[in-house]
Chains A and B, each alone.
Chain A
Amino acid sequence: MAYSDKVVDHYNNPRNVGSLDKSSTEVGTGMVGAPECGDVMKLQIKVNSATGIIEDAKFKTFGCGSAIASSSLATEWLKGKSVDEALQIKNTDIVNELSLPPVKIHCSVLAEDAIKAAIDDYKQKQAPVGSTPQAVAHS
C-alpha cells in the first residue's frame, strides 16, 4: 500500500509522543481500541483550568502507520484549542488532511474517539464532587 507523504512524515517524525501524569486533575486521558483489533490509541490532554485551553497533548499508538499519523495529527490540532473547539474535530477532517484511503478511515474514527474520551475524562475530573451521585439519585 502506498502512503501519502503526510502519513509518512507523521510516521517518521511523530509529534508529541509521550505520556502526561494521568492522575493530575488537569489531564484527561483517552484510551481506545483493542490489541486484538490491531489498534490501540492513548491520547492525553493537559488543560489550563483557568482558561479552558488545551496547553499540551501527548499520544502513544499501537497500530498501522495511518493510526500513528492520525493520532499524531490529532495532538497537533488539539494544542491551543479550547475544550469545546476540540470537540469539533471530526474524523473526516483527519481523513482529508492525511489523504487516508477508505480502508484506513477507521484509524481516523479511532482518533476522534480518543479525543472525545480524553475530554470526557478531563470533564469528569473537573465535575463538582457528588454531581454524579445526585444524578443517579434523581432517576
Chain B
Amino acid sequence: MANTKPIYFDNHATTQVDPRVLDAMMPYFTEHFGNAASRNHAYGWNAEDAVEKSRKQIGSLIGATSKEIVFTSGATESNNLALKGVAEMYAEKGNHIITAATEHKATLDTCKHLEKKGCRVTYLPLKGDGLVDLDMLRDAINDKTILISIMYANNEIGVVQPIAEIGRIAKEKGVLFHTDAVQACGKIPVNVAADGIDLLSLSAHKMYGPKGVGALYVRRKSPRVQLTAQMDGGGHERGMRSGTLNVPGIAGLGAACEIAQKEMPEESARLRRLRDKLRANLEANLEEVYINGSMEHRLPHNLNMSFAYVEGESLLMGINDIAVSSGSACTSATLEPSYVLKALGLGDDLAHTSIRFGLGRFNTEEEVDYVGNKMIEVVNKLRELSPLWEMFKEGIDLSKVQWTAH
C-alpha cells in the first residue's frame, strides 16, 4: 500500500487545525501560561486578555456580545448544559422539550436522560428531505413546553433547518430555543439575533480549531436566559460552568472564528463549487445513485449519497486512500444503519449503501477529481460482485423477493 496519507474528506467529523490557529494558541502553552482567574498578576491578566479577545471573536461570528459566551469542553458539554440547565432552571414553568429525530446523540441522549428525570420530550419526525415540518413543530408546543432544541445543520446529511422560522415560532409561543450549530458555525452565516436563537452550541474542532474546547451562547436580553450549572466549583463563567479555563484552546477557538468569518464568503463558494463538481461526476458516471436530504437547504461542503446495491463498508475498504464515513451498519458500533437516514424514510437497504463526503478548507480540486473517479471505479467493481446489482439488471423487483433474513 502506498505510504501516503489518505485524502481527508471527513470534515464533519473533525477538521485539521489551521496553522494560523495553532500560532494563536502557542504563546498560551509557553510564556503566557497563567490562569485566567488569577487577578493579582500579569500572568493571569495576559490569560484573561486572551479569553476576552476570544469571546469577542466568537460573538462577532454569531452576532452575540462577549458576555453571552460560556466556554465549555466542546459541543457535547454545551448541549448537555443547555438542555439540563434549562430543564432544571425552568422546572416550575414546565417540563416539556421538543427536539427532532435527527439530532446528534449529544442532544438525543441528554433528552433521554431528562425523560428519566420526569421531563416529557417530543421527537419530531422529519420530512423526506430532512427538514423539520414547521406546522408539526407549532402543534407540538403546549403550555408545559419550555425548550425547543433543533440543530442548525445536520452532521450526516448537511441539511440546514429553517432556523429563523423556528426562532420566530419559539418567540411567539414564549418558548426558549436552543440550536446545536456545530456544523453550521463558521461555514454559513449564523446570527443569533436574526435567527431568534436563545442558546447555541458550537465547537472549535469543527472549524479548524483544536479539540476539547467549545462554547455555549446564552442570551442575556429579551429574554435573559438562566441556566442551572451542571458542574460545581469555583463559579467560573458567571457561575454557569466552573473549571479553570482552557486558555490555549479558547485562544484557538477565537482565532478559528475570526478566520472563518473573514474567509466565509470565498471559502463557502469554493467548497460549493467543488462539492457540486463531485456530485456531477458521480451522477454522470454511475446509475442508481441517490442524494440523501435536501440539496437546496444544505451546507455547501456536504454531500451524502447512496450507491445502491453496494454495501458501504466494502466501499470504504475499496477507497482506503480516502477518509470518508458511511451510514452502513457495519461501520458503526451498534450494527444499526444510520438513524438519520432512517428518519428520512430511507430503507435499511439504501442506508447501508450511503457515503458522507465532507469537504474542507484544505481540500483541492485535484483531490475532488481523484475521489470522484476512484468512487466510480470501486462502485463499478463492487457492482460486478453484487448479486443485487445482477438481479436489478435482470429486472427483478428486489422488494418482492423473499429474503432469508437472519
B-contacting residues, A3-17, CB 8 Å: 3, 8, 11, 14, 17
Q: Name 29 interchain pairs, CB-CB below 8 A, sorted by A.
A: A1-B331, A3-B317, A8-B317, A11-B317, A32-B404, A32-B406, A33-B404, A33-B405, A33-B406, A34-B404, A34-B405, A34-B406, A35-B348, A36-B348, A36-B403, A36-B405, A38-B311, A38-B329, A38-B348, A39-B311, A60-B386, A61-B386, A64-B313, A65-B313, A65-B314, A67-B311, A110-B406, A113-B404, A117-B404
Q: Which residues of A contact B403 (CB under 8 A)?
A: 33-36, 40
**Within 8 Å of chain B (Cβ to Cβ): is A109?**
yes
**Within 8 Å of chain B (Cβ to Cβ): is A77?**
no
Having A36-B352, A62-B389, one finds 17 other A-B pairs with CB under 8 Å, namely A3-B317, A33-B403, A35-B349, A36-B347, A36-B349, A38-B312, A38-B348, A40-B387, A60-B385, A62-B386, A62-B388, A64-B330, A65-B313, A65-B317, A67-B311, A113-B404, A117-B404
1/0 contact string of A19-34 vs chain B (CB within 8 Å): 1000000000001111
Q: Which residues of B contact A81 (CB under 8 A)?
A: none
B390: nearest residue on chain A (CB-CB)?
A60
Taken together as a complex, chains A and B put the C-alpha atoms of A37 and B398 apart, in Å, by 14
**Within 8 Å of chain B (Cβ to Cβ): is A63?**
yes
**Within 8 Å of chain B (Cβ to Cβ): is A123?**
no
**Within 8 Å of chain A (Cβ to Cβ): is B328?**
yes
**Within 8 Å of chain A (Cβ to Cβ): is B335?**
yes
**Within 8 Å of chain B (Cβ to Cβ): is A68?**
yes
**Within 8 Å of chain A (Cβ to Cβ): is B310?**
yes
Taking residues whose C-beta sits less than 8 angstroms from the other chain, chain A's interface range is 20 to 34
A38 touches B328 (CB 8 A): yes
**Within 8 Å of chain A (Cβ to Cβ): is B337?**
yes
Nearest Cβ on chain B to A99's Cβ, whole angstroms? 16
**Within 8 Å of chain B (Cβ to Cβ): is A53?**
no
Total residues of chain B contacting the partner, CB 8 A: 30
B interface with A by C-beta (< 8 Å): 309-314, 317-318, 328-331, 335, 337, 347-349, 352, 384-390, 398, 403-406
Taken together as a complex, chains A and B put the C-alpha atoms of A131 and B311 apart, in Å, by 41
Q: Which residues of B contact A19 (CB under 8 A)?
A: 390
Q: Which residues of A contact B318 (CB under 8 A)?
A: 11
B-contacting residues, A52-88, CB 8 Å: 60-65, 67-68
**Within 8 Å of chain B (Cβ to Cβ): is A42?**
yes
> A109's contact among B328, B385, B404, B406, by CB below 8 Å, is which?
B406
Q: Which residues of B contact A125 (CB under 8 A)?
A: none
